[in-house]
Amino acid sequence: MARAFAILLAALTLLAGVGHARAQGFGSRDIMGGDPYFWGGGSSPIPRTLVSYGSNYAPGTIVINTAERRLYLVLQNGQALRYGIGVGRDGFRWSGIHRISAKKEWPGWTPPSQMLARRPDLPRHMAGGITNPLGARALYLGSTLYRIHGSNEPETIGQAVSSGCFRMTNDDVADLYNRVSVGTTVVVKN
C-alpha cells in the first residue's frame, strides 16, 4: 500500500512539473516540433518490421535513408529491421558515414550554439526525463552534433521536423539501443 501511494505521489509531482513547464510557455515543439507532454512515446505510425534487405553492408550496420524516412538495422541472411524515423527538415538534411560514439539513457540536452543562434529563447540545458526532446535513449554519431534519439512525439515519425537528428519513438529507440553498441557504423543516405 505504501509503495502504491509513493508511486501515485511521484506521478502527481511529475504532472505538477509538467503543468509548471507548460505554464512557462516552453515545450519541445518549440525546439524540434511536437508536444512534449505526451508520455511514453506511444506506438509508431510506422511499425517496426523485419524486411528483406539486399546490401553489401555488414550485419549490425545502421543504414538511414532520409528520403524514405526509414532506419535499417542490417541483419544476417539478407534481412533488416526497418524502423520509421523523423528526419531533418529542409536545409537540415545531411549524409555521411559515422560510428556510434556514445549511448545514453534519458540523456540531458544542451542545444548547440548554432541552434541557440537561431532560437535564443531556448533553455541552455534540459535534464533528462519525460519532457526532454531527446526522449528515452540517444545514440551519438561521431563528433557531429547529431544523434539518433527517442521522442515523446510519435506523430512526428515519418516527418521532416528536426534540426538534423533522427528521431524514433521511445519504444523503437530503446529496441535499437539494446541491439547496437558503441562503434556501430551508421550510414546516412540523403
**Cell representation of residue 183:** 562503434
Residue 20 appears among annotated catalytic residues: no
Question: Helix/strand/coil (H, E, C) string of the chain?
Answer: CHHHHHHHHHHHHHHHHHHHHHHCCCCHHHHHCCCCCCCCCCCCCCCCEEEECCCCCCCCCEEEECCCCEEEEECCCCEEEEEECEEECCCCCCCEEEEEEEEEECCCECCCHHHHHHCCCCCCCECCCCCCCCCCEEEEECCCCCEEEEECCHHHCCCEEECCCEEEEHHHHHHHHHHCCCCCEEEEEC
Q: Per the residue annotation, which of 20, 98, 125, 149 is the catalytic one?
A: 149
- For the chain, the residue count is 190
CB atoms within 10 A of CB 129: 15
- Residue 98 annotated as catalytic: no
Q: Which of 20, 98, 125, 165 is catalytic?
A: 165
Q: Which residues are catalytic?
A: 149, 165
